Amino acid sequence: MKKVLGLAFVLMTMFILVGCAEDEVKELQMLWWSDGTEGTVMQTLLDQYFEETGVTIELVTVPYADYETRLATMISGGEAPALARVTEGHLNNFKAQIVGLDDVYDTEGFTNLFYNADGDVISLPMDITANGLFVNLDLTEKYNVNLPTLTDVWTWAEFETEMSKLNAGLDDDVIAPGLFDHQGHRFMPLFYQHGIDLWDTPYTVSNLKSTQAVAVVQMMMDFYDEGFLGEQTYVTKNSASLFRAGGYGFHMSGNWNVSGYQNLEFDWTVVPMPQGTERATILGGKSLAAFQNEDGVVKASKKFIEWMAEGEQHDAYTGGVPYLTPRLGAEVDYGTFADQYEVFLSEIAATDAESVDDWLAQVMIPGMYPIINTFVENLANPDRTKTALELLTDLETALKAVAPTA
Amino acid sequence: MKKNIWTNYLIAALLVVVFLVPVIYILLSSFKPINELFTNTPAFFPRKWTFDNYRGALATGNFTKYIFNSFIVAITSTFLAVIINTMSGYALAKFRFKGDTVIMIMILSTIMLPLEIIMVPIFQVLKFFGLYNSLWALIIPPAATPTGIFLMRQYLLTIPDEIIQSARIDGASEWKIFTKIILPNAKPAIATLAIFSFMWRWNDYVWPLIAISDPKKYTLQLAIANLTGEFGTDYNSVLAISAVSMIPMLIVFIIFQRQFVQGTMDSGMKG
Amino acid sequence: MSVKSQTYRSYLLKQKIVPYLFLTPNLIIFSIFIILPAFIGIYYSFTNMSLFTFGTPDIIGFDNYRALWSNEEFKAALWNTIKLVLVTVPLMFASSLLVATLLVQPIKAKGFFRAIYYWPVMISAIVVGIIWQWILSQDFGLFNAILTGLGFDPIRTFINPTFAWWSVVFAIVWSRTGYYMIIFVGALLSIPETLYEAAEMDGANKFQKFCFITYPSLRAARLMVFILVTMEIFKIYPLVVTLTGGGPFDATEFTVQHIYETAFQRYNIGLASAMSVVMLLIVTLFTGFNFFMSRRGENK
């Protein structure tokens, strides 16, 4: 009898405690990944938020490769995080599971907003990303590579000529003139740089099989075949760590690596990407989103987003990493990275608005990223059997198969 | 005759090199500073011994937590495994009943199934039973292991039927027979099963991958797998953590080496 | 009389259900966590389930299976796996049998050698992949360092598809030989000495003794090893993923990895489930065939 009473007492206490905990949510989870110092900077802000409000937000860091899967399993497991850092791709895939943020913050002050099917804004833009070109100054200086300036940008032909000078060091300190990231996303600006928009009419008529497109793809294939681009990219699938170890003259990547490259053993900088008929980069951006959850959690999430959207906190994030800011009118001090960010800003300014819109349409295709990844991986494969045109045709077919109708 | 013996020893020594040296090399590499790791002229022994890699690895994550989680899971699951697999082994060894072959085949067939391909359904089942993101998901489902069942069955076959029969005639309940006769007599096999179970749970990767999303609940293998994805060719932390992950198994192995070997032999003798 | 027969009948009844009761915990776990998900998986194979389907998917019949028929990547992964099985099973068999034979010779410190050869079995698949990825690393690995030290050119290890493929074979055999070696040791030890003595008196040499006594006596162990290794290789995944990641360019991508990526990188759970069903059918055929062939041999 005593045992039963004792057990009942324990159970009751547990229920009470659990019930209390659910009333006012004092602890949230934020899913996160970092390319550089994003996590550290966010953690500082979270600590600050705790001091101001007493609400703890736990930063749960997951490797980017597993990020989407983790998010999907958490949501279907009934354990959606309160908040998560998301790309446009994620926002697209998880649209229905994300909470609308109307009236949470002043959306007028931001660019790169994302909306759901009902027209509600579902993200707080945190940073803008742009593709760009990193160079290893130690190597380029040693082999007399002429680098471009903001006013004197090189063409792809000039880029190849200059960077090929690094071949002189192949037996010595050069593994290959340069690297691309393994993702298809890093290759896409090449289309725009040659004046090619992907879609003439989304998603029915594309320009992927045009002669210009074939020429661009062929150029890329030649880069790999001639050893201009490092072959280790598709072995390690981590070009950033390859570049970090030295031995490569350039790394085609994006501004998220600026903070990631803070402590490199060699001198580096960012230079303008080569142009075809024009300059172009691809814009992206990470945002913060709140996921469907119990009311208490959603309320607390919205409160945090409101806080985060305020100029002081938001600029602390973009300035701390540092990143390009989506907050209009913000003055970000890039500190030691001012020169590098100047280049990125100039890339963005030089990009044709039409190209930007075209890319936005492309991003709307669900499952687009794995498709372009396979496409670019085939370009790098020394044992490939298909021609550039055949690969582009496959790409077009695959994209059309999954593209949204109307 | 002498020549024969010496070739045997030579081959045996060669095999020692093949099987042992890679492991030792990893252990040694974990003590090398970065410049000795990322060189194309690596030496076998570190020129400069350093704990930096270990310090770095421990700093990047809650590795003490992961090790703790792995321990909890391994030990609890082993307890459960010993009980339920001995029960099943007993049923299959000492009873003839309808469907016993069908059940054996069903149990055998589950060996063929790689968990990776039913990850999504398993995940949904876990979620349905409230086991998602709980360490219990790593403890209960894997405890039912076909290899364990057959291991126990093999051994229990050797317990004389007469003991069991006479206990029955004396009026003992089946459960009493199990706890008072079978379990004590199966000690060697139970020891083997316990050790194997510990090893399997310690090295488990797929169950934690499916079931755990909260990094606080990661087990060691899951954490290592995450590390390799993140660091790519940055081997220093990976090597240190891999070395650390081998240590508990090494200790268990040195102490219980005979049981491992005996257990494998027994499970393999007669099909 | 009736009371006694009642208790006797209830005793018999209890006897009948006792084994089922003892099997219940295991059967419950198997049913819930393996059998049930397997059937759910089969169900998904007939739907268009995706990673982001948070409701119920639509049934699309055999569409996924039809798509598999022309799916080049899946067929390549499947064929790659079958090749791996055909190559690795005999190698594993040979290596474990040979090492086992060594261990039953009259040499000292057998326990020591046995422990060393068994040790790699204890290492998790992930760490095995890490070990060999490190040793075979093209730029920083011991393997190339030794080659260059001996005056050879370094091998472009994981860029070369053939080398990468064989490194997978090697890592698997290296990490699992100890386990199957022990099975053979047990079987070898159970062969009666008298058989060998009789053969020796008939003037048989070592080779003949092996062919006519040892090998045939190992039938049960041989079958077991063949079946276990076959099933193991079909299921291979964590080791390969940490060793080569499936590269270069899918040269070492095997079935389970392809299924995993179809589900979690292409988001197509329905298609991945269909692939799983096909794969399991093939494994069953393989093992069934193995079993059948050995049974036929037994009847001779």
- Substitution target from C40, C48, C49, C52 for chain A, most A beta carbons within 10 A: C52
The pLDDT of residue B202 is: 94
Contact A77 B126 (CB under 8 A): yes
Does A63 sit within 8 Å of B226, measured CB to CB?
yes
Contact residues on chain C for A399, CB-CB shorter than 8 A? none
A94/A92 Cα distance (integer angstroms): 6
Structure tokens at A273: 């990407």
Who has greater pLDDT, A36 or A350? A350
Question: Looking at residue A370, what is its pLDDT?
Answer: 87
Please report, rounded to a whole number, the percentage of residues in chain A having pLDDT higher than 90: 61
What is the rounded CA–CA span in Å between residue C186 and residue B217? 40
pLDDT recorded at residue A20: 47
Mean pLDDT, residues B202-219 taken together: 88
Nearest-CA distance B227 → chain A (Å): 8
- The pLDDT score that the predictor gives to residue B136 is 94
Contact state of A241 with B234 under an 8 Å Cβ cutoff: yes
Q: Using the beta-carbon criterion (under 8 Å), do B15 and C259 form an inter-chain contact?
A: no
pLDDT (mean) for B79-83: 95
Give the DSSP letter string of B159-201: S-HHHHHHHHHTT--HHHHIIIIIHHHTHHHHHHHHHHHHHHH
What whole-number distance in Å separates Cα of residue B160 and Cα of residue B216? 48
Average pLDDT over residues A222-226: 95
Per-residue pLDDT, averaged over A327-347, amounts to 89
Query: What pLDDT is recorded for position C297?
Result: 64
- pLDDT above 60 for C119: yes
Residues whose CB falls within 8 Å of the CB of residue C291, separated by 6 or more in sequence, listed in order: C223, C227
A387 reaches B (C-beta below 8 A): no
Of the spans B9-23, B251-265, C2-16, which averages the highest pLDDT? B9-23
Q: Of the given ranges (A206-210, A308-312, B112-116, C177-181), which has the lowest mean pLDDT?
A: B112-116
Q: Which residues of A, range 162-201, sit inside 8 Å of B by Cβ?
A: none
d(CA C175, CA C117): 9
Interface of A with B in 60-79 (CB under 8 A): 60-63, 65-66, 70, 73-74, 76-79
**Is A79–B132 a contact, with Cβ atoms under 8 angstroms apart?**
yes
Contact A79 B38 (CB under 8 A): no
Domain B62-266, second-level architecture: Orthogonal Bundle (1.10)
Which residue from C minimizes the CA distance to A370?
A: C266
* Residue boundaries of the structural domains of chain C: 70-299
CA distance B64 to chain C (A): 18
Taking the CA of residue A392 and the nearest CA in chain C, the distance in Å comes to 17
End-to-end CA distance of chain A: 69
The token pair at C199 is 């053969």
pLDDT higher than threshold 90 for residue A253: yes
Beta-carbon separation of C159 and A235 below 8 A: yes
Please compute the mean of the pLDDT values over residues C197-210 and round it to a whole number. 83
Q: Between the CA atoms of A265, A270, A275 and A279, what dihedral angle is there, to the nearest 10 degrees?
A: 150
Position A198 scores a pLDDT of 93
Contact (CB, 8 A) for B240 and B56 = yes
pLDDT for residue B266: 67
The residue in chain A having the minimum alpha-carbon distance to the alpha carbon of residue C139 is A175
Looking at residue A64, what is its pLDDT? Answer: 83
Read off the pLDDT band of B233 (50, 70, 90): very low
Whether B255 contacts B143, CB under 8 Å: no
Q: Mind listing the pLDDT tens digit for each residue in C172-196?
A: 999 999 999 988 988 888 888 888 8
Task: Identify the band that residue A281 occupies on the pLDDT scale cut at 50, 70 and 90.
Answer: very high
Residues in C closer than 8 angstroms to B84, CB to CB, are: 25-26, 29
Distance of CA C158 to the CA centre of its chain: 23
B156 within 8 A of B93, measured Cβ to Cβ: yes
Cis before A49? omega within 30: no
Contact at CB, A231 and C159, closer than 8 angstroms: yes
CA distances from C260 to A114, A140, A352, C231, C238 (A): 30, 42, 39, 18, 11
Fold of C70-299: MetI-like fold (1.10.3720)
Domain locations in chain B as residue ranges: 1-50, 62-266
Q: Would the pLDDT of C82 be above 50?
A: yes
Residues 212-241, chain A: which have Cβ within 8 Å of B? 236-238, 240-241
When the pLDDT of each residue in chain C is averaged and rounded to a whole number, the result is: 88
pLDDT value at B135 more than 90: yes
- Cβ–Cβ below 8 Å for B221 and C14: no
Distance from CA of A363 to the nearest CA of B (A): 25
Does the pLDDT of residue A134 top 80, yes or no?
yes
pLDDT score at B271: 34
Interface mutation target, options B24, B97, B117, B237, chain C, most CBs of C under 10 Å: B117
Instruction: Work out the percent of chain A whose per-residue pLDDT is above 70.
Output: 95
Closest partner residue to C52 (CB to CB) among A72, A237, A380 is A72
Confidence of residue B253 (pLDDT cuts 50, 70, 90): confident
A window 87-126, beta carbon within 8 A of C: 93-94, 96-97
- B203:C35 CB<8 A: no
Res. A223 pLDDT band, cuts 50 70 90: very high
The whole-angstrom separation of Cα C136 and Cα C156 is: 9
- Average pLDDT for C102-114: 86
| Chain A, chain C: beta-carbon pairs less than 8 Å apart | 42
Mean pLDDT over all residues of chain B?
Answer: 85
Contact between A75 and C267 using a beta-carbon 8 Å cutoff: no
Q: At residue A19, does pLDDT exceed 60?
A: no
A156-204: pLDDT as tens digits: 999 999 999 999 999 888 999 999 999 999 999 999 999 999 999 888 9
At residue C43, the pLDDT reads 95
pLDDT value at residue B174: 86
